[in-house]
Amino acid sequence: MTLLSTLSPKHSGDKGMEYNLFTLKEHPEMASDFDAMNEAGWPTFMLYDEVAIQYYSQVVEIFPQFQFCIADESGTVMACCNSVPFYWDGTEEGLPAGWDHVFMKSIEDYHQGRVPNTVSALAIVIHPSYRGKGISGIMLDALKGIVKSHSIEQLVAPVRPSSKSKYPLIPMDKYVHWQNDKGDSFDPWIRTHLRAGAKIVKLAPESMKINGTVADWESWTNMKFPESGTYIVPGALVPVTIDVEKNEGRYVEPNVWIQHFI
């Protein structure tokens, strides 16, 4: 974790926790912290999404004001968020197909001169040392603040449910309706969004696609795939399909579109 030498004004979050927020526009030298946080926070295979590999550097360059981290009082980075502005007509049908599509659409809209009216979160990653301390709610509030500061009133996210990987054989359309003993959403990350006033809009059944050779998948998962079939791998929300004859593995991740009201 990096120490931020020059801190921005303090903010107060849940339970009185004080933190400092900075964007890449203010501190471009902190771009490496986003990379380090993503590497620490995601399963290895998630870092090989072809869309992200192609477009991430453009997102950081074009939209630095929508990429932010928070740090504690010592300057230690606790969590980071990537997000992008784009144009959305407000209808369910008009939402991008998912994570990959909104990534590309934000860049396309920018180059075509479309004025954005919506921001989509791409990822909120909390360092393992700070998980379970209410940081997720703080990050959502911070993101809402950034969206509002740019006079944008719509915030959406193709949410990756945090506990879905424990239940990879359960269809997403069933999983999102599970409830805990208190009648709240069973999934912690979905629950955090709903408690913040959001609503579920619809599923994104093909939100992200990751392809690789059999050797790639064996390296990413530290597993062996002796024959073709579907495999449950750590961190995946659904099984991965391996075709040994074609020497390819394919992962199609479903997400859940959630909308916040600014």
What is the per-residue pLDDT across 91-110, written as a single tens digit (0 to 9) for each? Answer: 999 999 999 999 999 999 99
Count the Cβ atoms, other than its own, within 10 Å of residue 42.
Answer: 15
Distance CA 110, CA 61 (A): 12
Q: What is the DSSP string of 77-138?
A: EEEEEEEEEE---SSTTTS-SSHHHHHHHHHHHHHTTPPP-EEEEEEEEE-GGGTTSSHHHH
Would you say residue 3 has pLDDT above 50?
Answer: no
Distance CA 186, CA 173 (A): 13
Question: Residues 66-91: what's their mean pLDDT?
Answer: 93
Quick check: 257 and 200 in contact, CB under 8 A? yes
Q: Per CATH, the architecture of 10-204+256-261 is what?
A: 3-Layer(aba) Sandwich (3.40)
The dihedral over CA atoms of 39, 42, 47, 48, expressed in degrees to the nearest 10, equals 150
pTM of the predicted model as reported, rounded to 2 decimal places: 0.91
- pLDDT single digits (tens) 5-39: 444 445 555 555 688 999 999 999 888 888 888 88
- pLDDT single digits (tens) 226-239: 999 999 999 999 99
Residue-range domain boundaries for the chain: 10-204+256-261
Q: Mean pLDDT across the chain, nearest whole number?
A: 92
Would you say residue 172 has pLDDT above 60?
Answer: yes
Strand partners, 5: none
Triad 94, 209, 159: Cα angle to 5°: 55
Would you say residue 185 has pLDDT above 70?
Answer: yes
Question: Residues 135-144: what's their mean pLDDT?
Answer: 94
Q: How far is CA 8 from CA 2, 11, 12, 185, 252, in A?
A: 15, 9, 13, 35, 39
pLDDT more than 90, % of the chain: 81
Q: What is the pLDDT of residue 11?
A: 55
Distance CA 88, CA 204 (A): 16
Residues whose CB is less than 8 angstroms from the CB of residue 5 and which lie 6 or more positions away in sequence, other chains included? 75
Would you say residue 114 has pLDDT above 90?
Answer: yes
Question: Residues 120-146: what's their mean pLDDT?
Answer: 92
Question: Residues 210-227: what's their mean pLDDT?
Answer: 98
Quick check: 184 and 193 in contact, CB under 8 A? no
Distance CA 46, CA 113 (A): 31
